[in-house]
Amino acid sequence: MNARDRSQVDTAAAVRTLPQLIIIFITSILTIQGFNLVFQDIGTQLNAVEYAPLITSIPGIVLGIVCVIYGSLGDFVSLRKMMMVGIVLIVIGSVLGLVASRSSIWVVIIARAIQTAGTQVSGSVYLVVTTKYVPGVKKVLYFGVFTAAYQFSTAIGVLAAGWLITMSWVWLFAIPLISVLFIPTLWRGLPDVSGQAQRIDVPGFLLAGVTVTALVMYFNSMNWLYLGAFAVLLALFIIYISKAKNPFVTPEFFQNRRYLMAVSLVLLFYFGNYAMTPLFNLAGGIFHGKTALQMGFVLLAGYVVATVMGVMSGAIVAKIGSGMGIVLAGGSAAIGAFLAAFTVDKGLWGIIVSAVFLFGGLGLAYAPVVNTVMGTVDVSESGRAVGMNDLAMNISPSIGIAILGSMMPAAARPEGVAEAQYLADSAHSLTLLFIIVGATCLAGLLAFFAFRRQLFPVDGWGKVTSEEA
């Protein structure tokens, strides 16, 4: 946006939309976490348990892709029009879910994908408004609010899902409809200024999304046809980005070894992100007779710690450096997962302590990991790097929940199975699943120690110098 366009914008009115935008964003994360908690119950009710993890993984893929698209659109498309389109998608997804989701699990998945594409507009517009119109010193405050809102809504989402499932999980679809109330304020306050049109690589994004979806479907069903489809689509994607005029990512981008090393940390540390809440919820229900609502309160300490760690992560990294921040975050998450593997069936204390370490570690990980990724690319490629980082951060846990979700034990004892056998089998399954999550975090730490000299060539730890402070 040039100076002339900026002068036409009512800056104060734009800033006044930030509270409404953050509320819509909270509903986005809230519903993601809510459905993440109850997807197994939904699969059971709709007689499609094998497809239940897709309720989380498919919208997760959509989320990763639209983050990149919306981040690009925000530079030259009217923010007002973007938000209005987002609200239309929210209404379509919500109404479809409220009216028809009981008919098929695929309706639930499609409605959630549409709804997620709509709600995420608010997050992207919030960041653009903050970057362009909030005075310099206050930007940090609003970015901090954004981080805190993400962690806060995760906790509220679990509690809301636990409460709503006592009536019907279908009502989770209604939560984002609160955005309709904000249409007048957003219409008046958001800038309606468009920059010079730029090309968005829609075919590239669609091809990337379908490719990853094929991989997720393979891990969910272990059907070799999906793996074959993934191989073909991956080959087409490689050919496309090699031949297209302006692809959203070029082959040269993947020749940056330091960037690939940094992104590998994202893929490993966030692999179990979507699986943690349903795993803890299962443990509480199977071994301790807790409902989803009661488990929301049990896990609350972990979410509070994650919120605090997320808000303070920037300050912590500034003190100890990105490298040590990665070690602390990855170590905490690994300890939490391994502790959970051997204690969740022993008592609620095992779930609470494990969740504190695990969620707290993931909350702390964001700032040092993103800072490390951004340090591997030139400033001119920072936008693309941020988008690809967001994509990796959402696709990795989407694949994770597809794999781990298919291995989760049944939430209720199957007919004909003795209680003791059911408990023993469930304990074995959950132990294995938590060990897998812990192993991926440990693999992330090992990868970091193997790469740290390349990632931080100056001192090996990415400490902030006095000039950068």
pLDDT grade for 64, boundaries at 50, 70 and 90? confident
Query: Which of 112-116, 293-297, 363-367 is the most confident on average?
Result: 112-116
Query: Which of 65-79, 253-267, 361-375 is the most confident on average?
Result: 253-267
What is the predicted pLDDT for the residue at 20? 92
Answer whether residue 4 shows pLDDT above 50: no
Token reading at 322 = 């990105």
CA distance 218 to 62: 17
Query: Mean pLDDT across the stretch 89-94?
Result: 96
Answer whether residue 182 shows pLDDT above 90: yes
Query: Mean pLDDT across the stretch 305-329?
Result: 86
In 3D space, the residue among 335, 437, 339 whose CA is nearest the CA of residue 396 turns out to be 437
pLDDT tens, position by position, 328-359? 999 999 999 999 999 999 999 999 999 999 99
What is the predicted pLDDT for the residue at 1? 47
Q: Does domain 249-409+418-469 match CATH 1.20.1250.20?
A: yes
Query: Mean pLDDT across the stretch 151-159?
Result: 76
What is the predicted pLDDT for the residue at 198? 61
CA distances for 297 relative to 176, 324, 351, 382, 407, angstroms: 23, 31, 12, 39, 25
With a pLDDT cut of 90, the percent of the chain lying above it is 38
> How many other β-carbons are positioned within 10 Å of the β-carbon of residue 379?
8
CA distance 452 to 258: 10
What is the predicted pLDDT for the residue at 441? 96
How much is the mean pLDDT over the chain?
85
**To 5 degrees, how large is the angle CA 117–CA 93–CA 163?**
100
pLDDT grade for 467, boundaries at 50, 70 and 90? very low
Contacts (Cβ under 8 Å, ≥6 apart) of 341 = 430, 431, 432, 434, 435, 438
pLDDT grade for 233, boundaries at 50, 70 and 90? very high
In 3D space, the residue among 189, 230, 152 whose CA is nearest the CA of residue 16 turns out to be 189
CA distance 212 to 229: 10
Query: Mean pLDDT across the stretch 45-69?
Result: 86
Residue ranges of alpha helices (H) inside 101-221 are 105-133, 136-164, 183-189, 202-221
Answer whether residue 111 shows pLDDT above 60: yes
CA distance 377 to 430: 39
Answer whether residue 71 shows pLDDT above 70: no
Answer whether residue 2 shows pLDDT above 60: no
pLDDT grade for 290, boundaries at 50, 70 and 90? very high
Query: Mean pLDDT across the stretch 79-101?
Result: 93
User: pTM score, two decimals?
Assistant: 0.83
Report the CATH fold assignment for 10-175.
Growth Hormone; Chain: A; (1.20.1250)
Query: Mean pLDDT across the stretch 206-220?
Result: 85
